[in-house]
């Protein structure tokens, strides 16, 4: 299986900060990567797919980049609603795998 490693595991930030989360794949996954946001007690919500395509309805302060084995999720100006846990997920192989998550907290 393709292993996905996110960093950092926890990120402390303030409203208005620019935040970057990194996701690394154990082998090349081209651009077959998605990002999700999860708030406590809720199901994950799709933010970005194909590494950089913003899902409909997702604010433009979210952006994704990368290909191959290294990817980033950037929040350009952190808003109060953005404090949550973020997961990357590869779909290059049939056995989908997630990163371990990055918690963005105050």
Partner 1 sequence: QVQLLQSGAEVKKPGASVRLSCKASGYTFRSYSMHWVRQAPAQGLEWMAIINPSDGSASIAQQFQGRVTMTRDTSTSTVYMEVSSLRSEDTALYYCARDSWNTGYFDYWGQGTLVTVSS
Using CB under 8 A, list all residues that contact partner 1.
Answer: 1, 32, 34, 36, 38, 43-46, 49, 55, 87, 89, 91-92, 94-101
Is the Cβ of residue 83 or residue 98 nearer to partner 1 in the bound state? Answer: 98
Least distance between partner 1 and beta carbon 31 (Å) = 11
Is the Cβ of residue 21 or residue 34 nearer to partner 1 in the bound state? Answer: 34
Least distance between partner 1 and beta carbon 8 (Å) = 14
77 CA to centre of own chain: 15
Which residues, including other chains, have CB under 8 Å from residue 89's CB and lie 6 or more apart? 4, 33, 34, 35, 36, 96, 97, 98, 99
Least distance between partner 1 and beta carbon 12 (Å) = 19
Tokens of 74: 């950037």
Is the Cβ of residue 24 or residue 101 nearer to partner 1 in the bound state? Answer: 101
Q: Is 38 helix (H, G, I), strand (E, B) or coil?
A: strand
Tokens of 6: 């996110």
Least distance between partner 1 and beta carbon 29 (Å) = 10
Distance, in Å, from the CA atom of 29 to the CA atom of 50, rounded to the nearest integer, reads 10
């Amino acid at each position: 299986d393709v292993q996905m490693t996110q960093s950092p595991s926890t990120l402390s930030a303030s409203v208005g900060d620019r935040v970057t989360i990194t996701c690394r794949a154990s082998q090349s996954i081209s651009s077959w990567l998605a990002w999700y946001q999860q708030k406590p007690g809720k199901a994950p919500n799709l933010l970005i797919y194909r590494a950089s395509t913003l899902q409909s309805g997702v604010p433009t302060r979210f952006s994704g980049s990368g290909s191959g084995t290294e990817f980033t999720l950037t929040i350009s100006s952190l808003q109060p609603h953005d404090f949550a846990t973020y997961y990357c997920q590869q779909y290059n192989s049939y056995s989908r795998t997630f990163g371990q998550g990055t918690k963005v907290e105050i």
